[in-house]
Amino acid sequence: MIIENLTPTGAPALPRYLGATRYDDEIIGVGADSILIIDDSLQMITYCQALRSGSIAAIGIAAHPRRANSLHYSELLRQFATLTRTPEHDDLGRIRPSIAAIEMASEVAFRILRTGSGVSMPADVSVDRDGDLRILWEDGDRTLELVCPFEPARRSYIYYSEGDQYYVAYDLSVYRLGRLFGWLAGRSSRFPR
């Protein structure tokens, strides 16, 4: 939703398109200094802050320092966009993920962000030879890898391990992701099942 501030002549004082981090973000406000960008209720910033930084997606959330470095969601979306511009194949197999894999990875990454677990930037974002999108987080000897298959008919899952213990989880709910990323960050010593 966009609410524009009108000048005395009735012309809009602001550009019709202000930009946002996702297509479904809301842009609201009543003046050039009070325009707010609401990113699915997770963060609220002023338009002026966005202009000063040069990118709306790069703005951290000062009121929530833990979330500011939690997932780096916008950077992850930029990496996904870069992968869509790679060639489809090389000598070893697929190197571009499917749109379905990117959409699923974006959705799961947003769920991870909603957990507020304080997750760092992934150690690696890559595509395997089958075109599956893989996002890897590491903390010491604990690893967690989200796998979003190229084929939409296959289920996404999280593979996680510590030492010689490993497990595959297909439950990608916010609750389960919160527990897994809490474990990855060391808030639990018990290996989750």
Query: Domain-by-domain residue ranges, the chain?
Result: 1-59, 65-184
Report the half-sphere exposure of 25 (CA within 13 A, side-chain side): 20
> Looking at residues 94-101, what average pLDDT do you find?
93
Give the three-state DSSP class for 178.
Answer: helix
Look at residue 51 and tell me whether its pLDDT is greater than 90: no
pLDDT of residue 8: 53
Q: What is the mean pLDDT of the chain?
A: 74
Q: Alpha-carbon distance 163 to 12, whole Å?
A: 60
Mean predicted confidence (pLDDT) in 9-25:
44
pTM: 0.64
> Dihedral of the CA atoms 35, 39, 44, 46 (nearest 10)?
-30
Reported as a pLDDT band with limits 50, 70 and 90, residue 72 is confident
Reported as a single tens digit per residue, the pLDDT across 117-157 is 777 789 999 999 999 999 999 999 999 999 999 999 999 99
Percentage of residues in the chain having pLDDT higher than 90: 45
pLDDT at 105: 95
Amino acid letter, residue 14: L
